[in-house]
Structure formats: structure tokens, C-alpha cells
Amino acid sequence: MYQCNGILLIDKNDGETSFDVVRKIKKVLPGIKIGHAGTLDPFATGLLVILLGQGTKLSSFLMVGEKRYRATVRLGVATDTLDPTGIIIDTETVPDFSLEQIKACAEKFVGEIEQSPPAFSALRFNGRRSYDLARKGINVELPKRKIRISSIEIISLKLPYFTFEVTCSCGTYIRSLAADMGKSLGSCAHLKGLERLASGGFKVKDGLNSGNIDVLKNDQCLQERVISLSDALHEMREVRLDKQTAKKIKNGLRSSLVELKDFQDLPEDWSGNIKLVCENNLVAVIWIKCKQAEKIKVFQ
């Protein structure tokens, strides 16, 4: 079987959990460590980035990129979960909003804003999952946090529904955004449908439908679908190594990093991640701050 180290793009269907998709891939690729970068709720569809083998070490680098979603909002009805799986807790008459009014509302949320995460979320509150407390009827008020909405585009309006596409920072809850937009319009609302269109530089159009995972049993199909470790970090600054230096780093030698020419050419105040590559193979990712290598993650 083709050696799997990298990432796989999946277009998740409605009704599946992210773990359901991981479990199906594990059946096709037994013995390979598998994870994912960014959970999708069962009612949500779209891009799920699957991590294979050494690719599981990429999670922290892939999770931080911007996300793009297509969301459908149902005005006039609020649920306790802020989505279609919850219990209706409020209803309001929906005024005859115009497209211009919906667009004006959306513009208020563009930029850096504070958002309250939903009570039904995996965030921890006093050491326990927020959704566990919420299901028991315990009021949970999670602290607001700063997020960034780069753009919101209203795609369609057919009251009591409207659909928009949003580009946002990691950690944004579209459920909360939908409910907040409803309040801003003087009504109430919940998220009716959600599709993740993109995560970082990866797009759902390039993903394998989760109903077709069995095709990965064919080594050629699998090889064509797996994105290499280095290519998965395509937006990260790259330094190329010779074989001797790559071997030193894999064997635990860190002092050789300061010998790299590209490392020396960095501005004095530069900080960020750099990937070290040898013959198109990812050797390590290092976090640099002011020309000092503070963290390193090695890929064998």
C-alpha cells in the first residue's frame, strides 16, 4: 500500500460527524494514524482536512488559516443550540426586509469584533465541556473573544431565509454570527445550513466526496489524492537543506540551524514559522523569533 504521510481533502456529506469520516478512512487505510484539522457539525457539509500519518503533526499549522463558509439563516426562530438540531426557544414576526437591509446588517460585522461562543460548544467552562453543562440545563456564559470577519457577501434572500458567504478567522462560530445578525435586525434567528468552502488555501471543490471514500483502496487513486507534507504548507516560508544538514536535524542536532544561509538572511526582527525541506520532503518546521529558533517539530 502507498505510504500515507500528508493530508487528504474530503467533501463531507450532511448527517455525518467528522469522526464518522475518520472512521471510514481508517477502515480503508488500516494501521495509519488519522486525524482532522477542524471539526464540522453533523448538519454541516463541505471541506474536511484529513491528516494522515506524519500529517497529524500539521494540525496546529493548518488550523490557524482563514475559513470560508456558505451559511443559510432562518429568521424569526431561535433555538438553544443556535442551529437546526436544537429546541425552539423563541419566535418572532419577520418584517419584510429588503436585500439592502440585510446587506447593511452584514456590514456591521465585518472587521475585528467580539463574539460570544455558543453554550453548546466544545469549549471548556470550569474544567468541563460547555455542551455537557448546557445539556443539563446549567447556564453557561462563555467569555467573549476577538475574531475577524474579512468579508460577508449576501448570496440570496427569500424570507424568512437568507444565505451569505463569509471569510473569517479561525475560531469564528457561524452559529453565533447567524444569531447575532438576527438580533441586529430586530428579530431572532438560527443557522439553518452550513457548508465549509475553504480552509486556508484548500477548497472544497478539490475534495473527495465522503460517500466515495472506498476509491482510496486503489493505491493510484490514493497517491493522486494525498497532498505531501511540504505541499500542505504551501503558504509557509521555505528553506532548502542538503542531505547532510537534514540528517543532522533528524538526529537531534539543533546548532546546525544557525549555519543555514537563508536563516542568516532573515531580518533581525522577523518572526514566524519556516519549513525545512530536503529533496521536496519536509524535514522540520521551526518557529523563529529574532533569528533564534525557539521551537522545532521534526518529521521523520
Range of the domain at 152: 67-199
d(CA 220, CA 1): 10
Distance CA 152, CA 62 (A): 23
Grid coordinates of 106: 452584514
**Residues 205 and 194 occupy one common structural domain:** no
Catalytically annotated residue among 41, 80, 83, 180: 41
Distance separating alpha carbons of residues 299 and 223, to the nearest angstrom: 19
C-alpha cell, 237:
516560508
Instruction: Tell me, yes or no, if 41 is annotated catalytic.
Output: yes
If asked whether residues 27 and 148 sit together in one domain, one would say no
In a domain, 245, yes or no: yes
Whether residue 127 is predicted with pLDDT greater than 70 in this model: the reply is: no
The 10s digit of each residue's pLDDT in 250-285 is 888 766 666 676 676 777 777 889 999 999 899 999
Verify that 177 and 81 share a domain, yes or no.
yes
Let me know if residue 1 belongs to a domain.
no
Using DSSP's 3-state secondary structure scheme, residue 25 falls into: helix
pLDDT of residue 97: 97
Contact by Cβ (8 Å): 5, 231? no
Same domain, 178 and 262: no
Per-residue pLDDT, 158: 98
Please indicate whether residue 149 or residue 128 has the higher confidence score (pLDDT): 149
Q: What is the mean pLDDT of residues 217-237?
A: 92
Element spanning 200, H or E: none
Give the model's pLDDT for residue 122. Answer: 61
Q: 167 by DSSP, 3-state: which?
A: strand
Does residue 160 have a cis bond before it (omega within 30 degrees)? yes
**Total domains, the chain:** 3
- Model pLDDT for residues 23-82, shown as the tens digit of each residue: 999 999 999 999 999 889 999 999 999 999 999 999 999 998 899 999 999 999 999 999
- Degrees to nearest 5, angle at CA 28 with 36 and 208: 55
Residues 113 and 30 in one domain: no
